[in-house]
Amino acid sequence: MFGLPHTFDLDPAVLETAWKKVAMTVHPDRFATASPIEKRVAMQWSARANEAYRILKDPLSRARYMCESAGIDLQTETNTAMSADFLMQQMQWHERLDDIRDQQDVKDCALFAAELAQVLSMTTANVQMLLDAERYTEAATRIREWMFLDKLLSQVRAFDPT
Residues 6+ apart with CB under 8 A from 31: 38, 39, 42
| Side-chain-side CA neighbours of residue 92 (13 Å) | 9
Residue 72 placed within a domain: no
Question: Which residues are CB-contacts of 88 (< 8 A; sequence separation ≥ 6)?
Answer: none
CA angle 141, 124, 50 (to 5 degrees): 95
- What is the residue range of 154's domain? 84-158
Q: Is-contact 45 23, C-beta < 8 A?
A: no
* Shared-domain flag, residues 43 and 89: no
5 vs 10: CA distance, rounded Å? 8
User: Is 153 within 8 Å of 120 (Cβ atoms)?
Assistant: yes
- Identify whether residues 130 and 89 lie together within a single domain: yes
Domain co-membership, 90 together with 141: yes
* 55, 62 Cβ separation under 8 angstroms: yes
Same domain, 51 and 92: no
6 in a structural domain: no
* Total of domains in the chain: 2
47-85 pLDDT, tens digit each: 999 999 999 999 999 999 999 999 998 877 766 678 889
CATH of residue 124's domain is 1.20.1280.20
Please write the tens of the pLDDT for every residue from 28-46.
888 888 899 998 998 999 9
pLDDT in tens, 99-150: 999 999 889 999 999 999 999 999 999 999 999 999 999 999 999 999 999 9
Residue 66 domain-assigned?
no
> Looking at per-residue confidence, does 97 or 77 come out higher?
97
